[in-house]
Structure 1
Amino acid sequence: MGKHASVLAFYITICCIAFVISKIIIAVLIYRRWKRKHLVFEHGFSGGKMVLFRAPVMQSLKSDVFLKKTLKLSNKDIIGSGGYGTVYKLTINETMAFAVKRLNRGSADRDRGFERELEAMGDIKHRNIVTLHGYYTAPHYNLLIYELVANGSLDGVLYGRSMTNKRLDWPSRYKIALGAARGISYLHHDCIPHIIHRDIKSSNILLDQNMEARVSDFGLATLMEPDKTHVSTLVAGTFGYLAPEYFDTGRATAKGDVYSFGVVLLELLTGKKPTDEAFVEEGTKLVTWVKGVVQDKREEYVLDSSLGCCPGDEINNAFSIALMCLEPEASKRPTMAEVVKMLEQIRSDKVIDT
């Protein structure tokens, strides 16, 4: 009996040791894989840590030069600002520059979540999503390092604040709407865990050198596990773009992003901001104004006058898609994958760049 007990104890010990060793090996392999994908630099003076995701564009950079230039950013480098951070232009040399967004730090728990979100963002490679090249964490602030997109934001071009002076005709606006929809759909349906953006608006849709839409600014992004339909968070976002249920529940959902996209689509069609002064004076808002006019079949009345002559059937279909996205009841809104399909069908008889 004693012999059997000692043999059993021996086997249990061996199994425990094997289990521990296997866990150590797995941890080492995961760490090595992480190291292959990241470059990590510590800065003793500032107490900060910079993490750069390995990519072809980053291979020619000297880590110390990149870090020093990042820490020397000043007010003269500011290219934009908003409620959640300031954006700087980081110039490395004559041919290379990045956009750096500075965010104030939150609690320790929130910062752990912040790094987890950014690790997921570093894996995202999509033609309609701005590439995140890395981040920097310091005791009092965080920096997000993005690619610099040539033509700035959609709202800057749409409302004449851009330096490019580009005019957006209907084919350009359609292309932007479809590109933005594809980018958001990718976040919702193809990323694991799924990602809710939470701050879809025209200033967070950037335009590259080909006027392709690139979804940007994940400072508010919330990761969603595949088996969850919502994430409860503090109410955050931008007035005029938030879904009505968000104010009541504080729940960030994919359908909330759909609503925000519907507002952006209305901006592209009407050329008006959701917080336009005219709406404030009349005690209404962009969504309510457009709904009333569309119900009366007078879409041409709200259409941006600078569009000139454009296909009426395409415009009417675009208005219909926008209003589906803006359904007051979240369950009645389409998914972003469905929105992409509907937008593609608008011009199915024409060439669509896929």
Structure 2
Amino acid sequence: MQIFLRLKAKKYQSEASYSFRFKNMANSVALGLYITICCIAFIMSKIIVSFLLYKRWARKRRMMEDTLSGGKMVMFRSPTTQSLTSKTFMKMTMKLSNKDIIGSGGYGTVYRLIIDDNSAFAVKRLNKGNTDRDRGFERELNAMGDIKHRNIVTLHGYYIAPQFNLLIYELMPNGSLDALLHGNRVQTFFQNYVMVSVLFSASHKNIDTGKSSKEKPLDWPSRCKIAVGAARGLSYLHHDCIPHIIHRDIKSSNILLDQNMEARVSDFGLATLMEPDKSHVTTIAAGTFGYLAPEYFDTGRATTKGDVYSFGVVLLELLTGKRPTDESFIEEGTKLVTWVTLPPINKSPQNTSSIKLSSYKCPL
């Protein structure tokens, strides 16, 4: 009997010991799992915080901001501007005179500024009366500086001061589509240039090639390439850019050509910047006669459809070689959009002989 009781006692002790060890093991596993989760959460939080701080640092690093002459210079970091300092840029800008003027428009005057053999700038001095705005003016400029697309002219910087404001944009060495189609390449390019441009090319000698469109006709492959590039740039502004942008002034002089004859859309956002009380959607007269959609005159409302209509006029201009503002259209009481639908017998000789498209082979 005593032996039986001893064996049973040992059995209970063994079971109790096993249960105790099992509980200890379970507690150890739970503790280890808890510590592991805490470590992972700590590491993840560190990674997230570091990422956010890096983005904030990168954004500050992207812009070079200085207070100069009572104003503020902001240069967006890029290969074009990384070797320039604000003081150097402003020092040379202050030396600009009337002999450096290369164009003017309704919003200001454009000056050519050559830094060295590798970079030249066209600086747009905005009419100060139109730009008395609050911080929203800078926010919109910063948003425009974030836009990067192969078919859109890039904003490289700006200067804001009580006396005047400057914008700095990329300048294309092959000028504008308007100048290429209608001749007088450099003068036409800058005559109605409403924004600022910045040229970065191998040498500032590429600014003027010295050849007009009559000396070197624009062939069909080039026309198609320009049309597709401009369409991509406009589509990016309408659909992929955040916030979406309505251009409101699509025309051939606002389609620029780089060294590879790639089309770049320019002048986007200027009307909104210069009209502080207006939105992208509703505005008073904005745009160029001959390119505006008919419904715009009735509603005064700028929409993406209006941009598409204006781009269609540019395509007709690209195909026919005729300006929508041609004097012959005014004399005949018509316009380019309706003129192309008329039978040849109803077209004046000066219109039908403006460009010989039959000498080109269309790849389409």
Q: What TM-score does the superposition give when structure 2 sets the normalisation length?
A: 0.69
Whether the 8 Å CA contact 1:200–1:241 is kept in 2: the answer is: yes
Aligned pair count? Answer: 278
2:238 pairs with one of 185, 188, 192: 188
Partner of 2:73: 50
Shift of 1:90: 1.5
1:40 pairs with one of 65, 86, 92: 65
2:144 pairs with one of 116, 121, 134: 121
* Counterpart AA for 1:164: K
3-state SS of paired residue (1:56): coil
Partner of 1:212: 262
Shift of 1:222: 4.3
Partner of 1:271: 321
Partner of 2:98: 75
Identity level (%): 71
Q: Distance in 1 between matches of 2:130 and 2:58?
A: 29
* Counterpart AA for 2:155: L
* Counterpart AA for 1:82: G
Q: Distance in 2 between matches of 1:232 and 1:112?
A: 21
Whether the 8 Å CA contact 1:198–1:220 is kept in 2: the answer is: no
Q: Distance in 2 between matches of 1:31 and 1:221?
A: 30
3-state SS of paired residue (1:58): coil
CA separation of 1:141 and 1:234: change in aligned 2, threshold 3 A: farther
CA separation of 1:293 and 1:49: change in aligned 2, threshold 3 A: farther
1:159 aligns with 2:159: no
Whether the 8 Å CA contact 1:154–1:202 is kept in 2: the answer is: yes
Shift of 1:167: 2.0
Q: How does 1:312-331 map to 2 (within 5 A)?
A: none
3-state SS of paired residue (1:246): helix
Moved more, 186-195 or 140-149: 140-149
Shift of 1:72: 2.3
Partner of 2:229: 179
Q: How does 1:209-248 map to 2 (within 5 A)?
A: 209-218=259-268, 220-222=270-272, 231-248=281-298
CA separation of 1:148 and 1:305: change in aligned 2, threshold 3 A: closer
Once the two structures are superposed, residues 34-84 of structure 1 have per-residue CA deviations (whole angstroms, 9 ceiling, x without a partner) of: 42221112123xx32211111122111132111111232222222222233
Q: What TM-score does the superposition give when structure 1 sets the normalisation length?
A: 0.71
Larger Rg: 2
Q: Distance in 1 between matches of 2:101 and 2:75?
A: 22
Q: Distance in 2 between matches of 1:164 and 1:32?
A: 46
Partner of 1:332: none
* Counterpart AA for 1:58: T
Whether the 8 Å CA contact 1:198–1:256 is kept in 2: the answer is: yes
Q: Distance in 2 between matches of 1:50 and 1:293?
A: 56
* Counterpart AA for 1:208: D
Shift of 1:277: 0.7
3-state SS of paired residue (1:252): coil
Shift of 1:112: 3.9
Q: Distance in 2 between matches of 1:108 and 1:93?
A: 31
Q: Distance in 2 between matches of 1:125 and 1:91?
A: 24
Q: How does 1:291-330 map to 2 (within 5 A)?
A: 291-293=341-343, 305-311=355-361
Gap runs ≥5 in structure 1: 1-26, 224-228, 315-346, 348-354
Once the two structures are superposed, residues 216-258 of structure 1 have per-residue CA deviations (whole angstroms, 9 ceiling, x without a partner) of: 12352549xxxxx961122211111111222222222111111
3-state SS of paired residue (2:144): helix
Whether the 8 Å CA contact 1:290–1:302 is kept in 2: the answer is: no
Partner of 2:83: 60
CA separation of 1:244 and 1:111: change in aligned 2, threshold 3 A: farther
Gap runs ≥5 in structure 2: 1-51, 186-209, 274-278
1:256 aligns with 2:306: yes
3-state SS of paired residue (2:334): coil
CA separation of 1:252 and 1:106: change in aligned 2, threshold 3 A: farther
CA separation of 1:305 and 1:108: change in aligned 2, threshold 3 A: closer
Once the two structures are superposed, residues 281-322 of structure 1 have per-residue CA deviations (whole angstroms, 9 ceiling, x without a partner) of: 11111112113349x9xxxx958633333457x6xxxxxxxx
3-state SS of paired residue (1:261): helix
Once the two structures are superposed, residues 117-137 of structure 1 have per-residue CA deviations (whole angstroms, 9 ceiling, x without a partner) of: 221111111111111101111
Q: Distance in 1 between matches of 2:220 and 2:260?
A: 15
Q: Distance in 1 between matches of 2:358 and 2:316?
A: 17
Q: How does 1:67-146 map to 2 (within 5 A)?
A: 67-106=90-129, 110=133, 112-146=135-169
1:285 aligns with 2:322: no
